[in-house]
Amino acid sequence: MKKTNKFIYLISPRKIKNNKFYSDLVSVFKSKKISFFQLRLKKESPKKIIKIAKKIKKICKRFNIKLIINDNPFLAKKINADGCHIGQSDSTVFEARRILKNKIIGVTCHNSKKLIKKAIIDRADYIALGAFYSTKTKKVKYKAKLKLIKEAKKITKIPIVAIGGINLNNYKKLLLIKANFLAISSYVWNNKKYKPLEAIKKLKWKYLEMILELEC
């Protein structure tokens, strides 16, 4: 996959409370650093998720950003989202593919080479690995080492999405080891120092500069 400035896989906050979120989302999308937006609202009803997703879908379409629905391929189909993200305790890639046909289907593989190989066989469109760092978004059950990305790259060309506690202090390490996308949530939506757009602007894809840093 070619290097891209659009290296961020943005995940929604746990709750979307008011219209300020939508204006923040527009400003963040204007940064031109977002490739995917995953709507992840674990505690909301399907009816409310659909209502929110319809608003977000319009914004995603405006900025050519792929809308991914977490966990539920049936909801993804109803919304006509671009795809669905499947966790290991959710549906299967096979079942999601049956429902969504040629839409994007990504799958969480935690820190497991076995699950990576299964995702390759199942023809997932991307593989999410991690958590690489501690995160406030959810309790970390599976801690992954950076070398897992290198090992995955040796056996597949499927894009790798790095997940778990990614922020301004650690994101470069993941780009240097050639993760295709960085899944980010708390750093943007719960940042006490920076507003969402400021937080995104701080994440810079300066590949040659980072290579030089690595060699020093």
Average pLDDT over residues 161-178: 94
Question: Considering the entire predicted model, what is its pTM?
Answer: 0.93
Q: 8-215: what fold?
A: TIM Barrel (3.20.20)
Q: Examine the pLDDT at 138 and tell me if it is beyond 70.
A: no
Mean pLDDT within 161-165: 96
State the sign of the Cα–Cα–Cα–Cα dihedral 140, 164, 2, 33: positive
Q: Rounded to whole angstroms, how far apart are CA atoms 151 and 115?
A: 13
Q: What rounded mean pLDDT belongs to the chain?
A: 92
Cβ pair 126, 113 in contact under 8 A: no
DSSP run (H or E) holding 121: helix 113-121
Confidence of residue 115 (pLDDT cuts 50, 70, 90): very high
Q: Could you give the CA distance from residue 22 to residue 166 in angstroms, rounded to a whole number?
A: 23
Structure confidence at residue 1 (pLDDT): 39
DSSP string, 148-216: HHHHHHHH--S-EEE-SS--TTTHHHHHHTT-SEEEESHHHHS-SSS-HHHHHHH----HHHHHHHHH-
Tally the residues of the chain. Answer: 216
- Asked if residue 15 has pLDDT above 80, the reply is yes
- Confidence (pLDDT) at 195: 97
State residue 55 phi and psi, 5-degree precision.
-65, -45
